[in-house]
Structure 1
């Protein structure tokens, strides 16, 4: 009887080892496939992926390299808004009078946003009127409104947003300033991030660690309404839902999101890029990276 049990145990051990080796090989194949695709892109690319259903499955490529954060920095601002509401410092249902005047972090001189450089032109018709904080936050994420972002950053303070990111375990992301602070930009003072830090932040939202469960659910709902969908969701089936935030400036195109599969599993994927030579072609290639990760997930 003991010999029989021993043989059964050995059989299960061999099956387990084979299963682990198979999973490890598939993960290595994914890593290799992504590297091959990155090599074809004219520019610098970083990728961070983690399977939330099995966090041991992850891929990190150039994940600690610094990138200009572009509009991905708006996710930390959203998290900070919910945090300060929970602390009683503000109420997202409250309104503020929308003013297009902000202070440079360099010398406190005033500057204004230009409608031509903003992805949200509707909000400019509301200048001088009262707008709810939750509406500004929604516009900041879904249509990447720069005017709304600057109003909210001045409200919560960029330093507080960065400090909260540190509490979540994101050690390198820096929220320094609002958008279009030209004097700061010329001095090299820009918001920066790494793929790994954005992965940590998006995972914290997905796992209800970036705030209360209700707050995180609301953040996910807002992120799912993202209007710019040319990278992570682009090649994915319609039934796959993506809660994500993009970012783009000259030669830079980012996307960071939580991908929800119909079978209930989910994963976080972050794709960052800079020094892109052919922006439109590179954007489609970046979307191809997302497709590769999706095919890996549904293939096992």
Structure 2
């Protein structure tokens, strides 16, 4: 049974996994015009159970930004200054040592390509948290909850650990017992930004079918997902001639990625994979490889099933 095989892949990496993979029907020569493949199978492992989505929420963020640009509500060239007060630490502008100035669309680029948390927060402040929440509802993502941006999640973690800033958190967090670490609200889908694997593949399906907004907005998000620099999860499970456009998410003990794999024959597959490790010190490369392998196994099964129909 394909589902049990996938569970064993995760178990071998010391993790529990959830996954949903869905073939998309893309018309020849019409990139971006995709829907669920008629009569298609799916592979679902815990696909309807809630999951923390962390930075995967940035796909919705980028989509709402693009929709507002197309509607003429925002000028993508509008300049934003990133100061020390904005920076969270990490990739992109979040890790800069000096103030920088860039456009709104470059904030979107950094938020998606290198998962820049500061860029995401500034973009979210410009377009509005409530509009992103309303977008999820509009797209039928009824079980998706967005509690805030990266800074909100970080401040939640600092408060729970009793740290005043990131530096103090870096000292206090490692000293906590594992069971206390696992009880952090940001790791519990009941209390943080969350969805289900099935709703995430629905979002991807709508973006790839130009049904999540104007075609220009959907194309913008697809392009940004294709620019992601992290190639250690989904990509690791596919041959070199398969292109993957995706967005990762990571929190202590949680590893996730959502994306679309495109084969040379034109076949597309929407994929959402989530892994929770039993051991918070588990090897990340081992878990990341398991995620790619699970996705590759699921897509391989769907391709074989499709060829046999």
Q: TM-score, normalised by structure 2?
A: 0.77
Quick check: 1:150 aligned with 2:121? yes
SS in 2 for 1:238: coil
**Runs of 5+ consecutive residues of structure 2 not aligned to the other structure:** 26-36, 161-184, 186-190
Q: What corresponds to 1:215 in structure 2?
A: 217
Structure 1 distance, partners of 2:247, 2:231, is 9
SS in 2 for 1:226: coil
Structure 1 distance, partners of 2:212, 2:244, is 18
Structure 2 distance, partners of 1:298, 1:58, is 11
RMSD of the TM alignment (CA)? 2.1
SS in 2 for 1:172: coil
Structure 2 distance, partners of 1:83, 1:43, is 37
In the TM superposition, what is the alpha-carbon distance from 1:59 to its structure 2 partner? Answer: 1.8
Alignment of 1:125-274 (within 5 A): 125=97, 127=99, 129-181=100-152, 182-185=154-157, 186=159, 188=185, 190-274=192-276
Asked if 2 retains the 8 angstrom alpha-carbon contact of 1:159 and 1:176, the reply is no
Structure 1 distance, partners of 2:234, 2:138, is 27
| Distance change in 2, residues 1:279/1:172 (3 Å) | farther
Q: TM-score, normalised by structure 1?
A: 0.79
Q: Which moved more, 1:70-79 or 1:191-200?
A: 191-200
Quick check: 1:289 aligned with 2:261? no
| Distance change in 2, residues 1:167/1:270 (3 Å) | same
Asked if 1 retains the 8 angstrom alpha-carbon contact of 2:87 and 2:93, the reply is no
The CA deviation string for residues 83-131 of structure 1, in whole angstroms up to 9 with x for no partner, is 2223322121222222344xxxxxxxxxx5332xx1225862562x431
**Runs of 5+ consecutive residues of structure 1 not aligned to the other structure:** 1-28, 102-111
SS in 2 for 1:264: coil
Q: What corresponds to 1:98 in structure 2?
A: 82
Q: What corresponds to 2:88 in structure 1?
A: 114
Q: What corresponds to 1:89 in structure 2?
A: 73
Q: What corresponds to 1:9 in structure 2?
A: none
| Distance change in 2, residues 1:287/1:276 (3 Å) | farther
SS in 1 for 2:141: coil
Asked if 2 retains the 8 angstrom alpha-carbon contact of 1:204 and 1:210, the reply is yes
The CA deviation string for residues 134-186 of structure 1, in whole angstroms up to 9 with x for no partner, is 11101100100011011011111222112101111111222221213344345
Structure 1 distance, partners of 2:299, 2:117, is 31
Answer with 1 or 2: which has the greater Rg.
1
The CA deviation string for residues 44-102 of structure 1, in whole angstroms up to 9 with x for no partner, is 3110111113253112221122222221111110011012223322121222222344x
User: 1:47 pairs with 13, 19, 36, which one?
Assistant: 19
In the TM superposition, what is the alpha-carbon distance from 1:238 to its structure 2 partner? Answer: 1.8
The CA deviation string for residues 19-41 of structure 1, in whole angstroms up to 9 with x for no partner, is xxxxxxxxxx4334323323434
Quick check: 1:79 aligned with 2:50? no
